A and B are shown apart, each in its own frame.
Chain A
Amino acid sequence: MSTLKDQAETFVELRECLVAASHELFDAYGMKTQYSPGGAIDPWSDAVMAVIGYAAEGLRGAVVLITAPHVVEQLRPEVLRLGSDVGSDLALRDVLGEFANMLIGRVKNKLLARGLAPLLATPTTFSGSEIQLPVPRSGMSAWHRFSSEAGEIYVRLDATLDANFILPPRQEHVVPPLAEGEMVMF
């Protein structure tokens, strides 16, 4: 049985995974970001949002990404910025959805080293103005702000932990999974 303090510590570790994964991902797409915890979302006139759920034994939740359309346009790979659908709502939602997918994939790869293999859902995306996001009724939830020259990207981690859930310690002897961008031929 873990105490509330244990659960809070586990949540901090999960958040650290998320922050490291976010930095790596934005970096890989040429966007330098500065992290700061929390951050209230400004009531933007326009925003794009993506959410992906995850679930492991004793742990479940979601990762939410929200940012302004012009920031998503910056994240979009250069080779795709010349297409006819540049800036279209569908294209921007798709790009942020795939970023959410790559982000949660990176978090999962970090958790694999801890012996945890969450199942990942596929992204749900939407866009609009004055999007209001209720805080989950159970579990823990925290916002993370990544500031770049293009603007702010907010990432929320929601996690509900079972009373007996314990994040296993890092297993040094475990072979790390393939890193992002790597490949193996069978």
Chain B
Amino acid sequence: MQTKIMVADDSQMVRQQVRSALAGAGFSVIEAHDGADALSKLDQSGVALLVLDVNMPNMNGLELLEALHKKDEYAKLAVVMLTTEGQPKLMQQAKALGAKGWIIKPFKPEQLVAVAQKLTATTAA
């Protein structure tokens, strides 16, 4: 069975880029267009890794991260942030809320694939 990865980003261009990179490496990719959409789609989805933007309408990435952090059922969900933001304070906030990494856009496809393989291997173990 393919490992499922969700990408939550308000830009369709970014979602397509992430899908193209990860699907090419054998992952199954689910898209969400903001934090609220991601939260509703994560339930029972079996997603192993969430690639998460910060600046999004409705619910931003850090708000979603906080919501997930409070729920036991997402304790094993790995999250990597993918954003234009590079502010150390935001990175510390994400780390404190359990994120595993922070990538600044634009990303290199091979870099994202390597991160996805590493984080989903840990999750499966």
Contacts and interface: CB of A to CB of B under 8 A. Distances in A.
A98 B102 contact: no
Contacts of A178: 86, 91, 102, 104
A184 B91 contact: yes
A120 interface: yes
Which of B11, B83, B89, B95 counts the most chain A CB atoms within 10 A?
B11
B11 A101 contact: yes
Contacts of A94: 11-13
A105 B16 contact: no
A104 B84 contact: yes
B111 A183 contact: yes
A81 to B, nearest CB: 11
A28 B84 CA distance: 14
Nearest to B109: A79
Interface stretch (A1-9, A41-49, A61-69, A106-114): A106-114
A112 B87 CA distance: 7
A122 B115 contact: no
Given A79-B20, A80-B20, A120 B12 contact: no
A16 interface: no
B91 A181 contact: no
Interface string B38-64: 000000000000000001110000000
Interface of A: 28-29, 76-77, 79-80, 83, 90-91, 94-95, 97-98, 101-102, 104-106, 108-109, 112, 117, 120-122, 175, 177-186
Given A94-B11, A112-B86, A180-B86, 20 more contacts: A28-B106, A77-B13, A83-B16, A94-B12, A97-B11, A98-B14, A101-B11, A105-B85, A108-B86, A117-B87, A177-B86, A178-B104, A180-B106, A181-B105, A181-B107, A183-B101, A183-B104, A183-B115, A185-B100, A186-B94
